[in-house]
């Protein structure tokens, strides 16, 4: 198990390296300099700024400096918010995004897992058809469609929930529903499919042949095996939720990291866009690592392969 964990950890290194190198090269291949603004800049000021951002150094030296900074988790200063570092912006924005994304994923799991099990156990009955039809609809409605529609229904036509901003728990209801619904639909379908598959497998027949209670068969034999696909969904699922929160924060005016990211992208704030991409890249890679190790821990066959 330890060897397996270490091996996975080592596997992350090239991925991180490629993430860093690719972003660095992208930035330097891009046409024009980040200093090109709307107005031409006096040569002297330009030289000063270039020196400040080390743009005058040879590429390889810049690359080394870049790696060094990121190794210290220093993402530099924002071009747009002059006196704020990217780190500060991440520190303010990420907890908000994490709350919205975390609750959405939790919502999807807490409702989707039981719903998928019910659909599987009542396969081809009404409950199953309802859950499957509903989840197919859920998969087909993007969050940027669901969000505005919910605002229309719950904030404009009825005054039940705040349309945006951050305050009490009420502010989280619509964003979490808008973001979580699609993943709820995925988890439901996934859980249904895997439960059906496990219920059919020979080892469940063995468990029944031992005279165990249905409860024990389900909790000890069916559930852990059926949950495995959901666990491996957590990696891509978390990446998707972080990506989705970019839109949801935009719709509901939530001051999270995703909102900073879009604003920075629209204003061509190079360092902030780069910093957030790197930050999210690292987060997602590390999260995938955790999920991988967790999976290996849950499924003994993986770790020994």
| Touching other proteins, residues 77-116 (CB under 8 A) | none
Of 50, 88, 128, 299, which lies in the binding site for other proteins, with binding defined by CB under 8 A? Answer: 299
**Smallest separation, CB 286 to other proteins (Å):** 10
> What's the rounded Cα separation, in Å, for the pair 258 and 90?
10
Interacting residues with other proteins between 219 and 278 (CB under 8 A): 220-221, 224-225, 233, 236-237, 239-240, 242-244, 246-247, 250-251, 261-262, 264-266, 268, 270, 273-274, 276-277
**Smallest separation, CB 242 to other proteins (Å):** 7
Residue 179 engages other proteins in binding (rule: CB under 8 A): no
Q: Which is nearer to other proteins, 77 or 217 (CB)?
A: 217
Q: Tell me the two tokens of residue 65.
A: 């400096």
**Smallest separation, CB 156 to other proteins (Å):** 5
3-class DSSP state for residue 165?
coil
Q: Which is nearer to other proteins, 89 or 225 (CB)?
A: 225
Point out which span in 39-47, 57-65, 69-77, 146-154 binds other proteins (CB under 8 A).
146-154
**Smallest separation, CB 71 to other proteins (Å):** 19
Q: Which is nearer to other proteins, 48 or 145 (CB)?
A: 145
Q: What is the dihedral of CA 52, 58, 60, 66, to 10 degrees?
A: 10
Residue 38 engages other proteins in binding (rule: CB under 8 A): no
Residues 137 and 149 sit within 8 Å (Cβ to Cβ):
no
Residue 65 engages other proteins in binding (rule: CB under 8 A): no
Residue 208 engages other proteins in binding (rule: CB under 8 A): yes
CA distances from 249 to 76, 104, 163, 243, 287 (A): 24, 13, 12, 10, 22
Residue (of 177, 93, 142, 165) closest to 247 by Cα position: 142
Residue 281 engages other proteins in binding (rule: CB under 8 A): yes
**Full DSSP string of 47-111:** HHHHHHTTTTS-HHHHHHHHHHHHHTT---B-SSSTT-BHHHHHHHHHHHHHHHHHHHHHHHHHH
Q: Which is nearer to other proteins, 48 or 214 (CB)?
A: 214
In sign, the C-alpha dihedral spanning 21, 27, 28, 34 is: negative
| Beta-carbon contacts of residue 249 (< 8 Å; ≥ 6 apart) | 96, 97, 100, 175, 255, 256, 257, 258, 259, 262
Of 183, 218, 260, 295, which lies in the binding site for other proteins, with binding defined by CB under 8 A? Answer: 183
> What's the rounded Cα separation, in Å, for the pair 46 and 56?
11
Q: Which is nearer to other proteins, 19 or 43 (CB)?
A: 19
Q: Which is nearer to other proteins, 48 or 213 (CB)?
A: 213
Of 14, 40, 42, 167, which lies in the binding site for other proteins, with binding defined by CB under 8 A? Answer: 14
Dmax (CA) for the chain in angstroms is 85
Of 99, 166, 193, 231, which lies in the binding site for other proteins, with binding defined by CB under 8 A? Answer: 193
CA distances from 91 to 19, 25, 101, 264, 292 (A): 21, 26, 16, 16, 27
Q: Which is nearer to other proteins, 16 or 49 (CB)?
A: 16
Residue 122 engages other proteins in binding (rule: CB under 8 A): no
Q: Which is nearer to other proteins, 31 or 58 (CB)?
A: 31
């Amino acid at each position: 198990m330890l060897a397996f964990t270490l091996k996975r950890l080592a596997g992350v290194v090239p991925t991180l390296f490629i993430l860093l190198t690719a972003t660095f090269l992208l930035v330097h291949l891009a046409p024009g300099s980040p200093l090109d603004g709307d107005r031409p800049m006096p040569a002297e000021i330009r030289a000063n700024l270039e020196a400040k951002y080390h743009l005058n150094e040879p590429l390889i030296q810049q690359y080394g400096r870049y790696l060094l900074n990121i190794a210290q988790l220093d993402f530099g200063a924002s071009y747009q918010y002059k006196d704020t570092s990217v780190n500060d912006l991440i520190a303010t924005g990420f907890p908000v995004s994490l709350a919205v994304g975390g609750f959405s994923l939790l919502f999807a799991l807490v409702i989707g897992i039981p719903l998928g099990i019910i659909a599987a156990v009542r396969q081809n009955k009404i409950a199953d058809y309802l859950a499957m039809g509903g989840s197919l609809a859920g998969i087909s409605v993007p969050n940027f469609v669901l969000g505005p529609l919910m605002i229309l229904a719950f904030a404009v036509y009825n005054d039940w929930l705040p349309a945006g901003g951050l305050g009490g728990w009420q502010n989280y209801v619509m964003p979490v529903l808008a973001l979580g619904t699609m993943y709820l639909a995925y988890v439901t379908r996934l859980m249904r499919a895997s439960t059906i598959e496990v219920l059919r497998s020979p080892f469940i027949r063995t468990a029944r042949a031992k005279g165990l209670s249905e409860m024990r068969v389900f909790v000890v034999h069916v559930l852990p095996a059926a949950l495995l696909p959901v666990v491996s969904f957590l990696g891509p699922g978390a990446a998707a939720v972080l990506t989705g929160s970019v839109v949801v924060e935009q719709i509901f005016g939530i001051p999270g990291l995703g909102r900073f990211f879009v604003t920075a992208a629209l204003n061509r704030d190079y360092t902030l866009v780069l910093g957030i991409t790197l930050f999210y890249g690292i987060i997602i890679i590390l999260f995938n690592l955790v999920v991988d190790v967790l999976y290996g821990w849950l499924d003994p066959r993986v770790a020994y392969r």
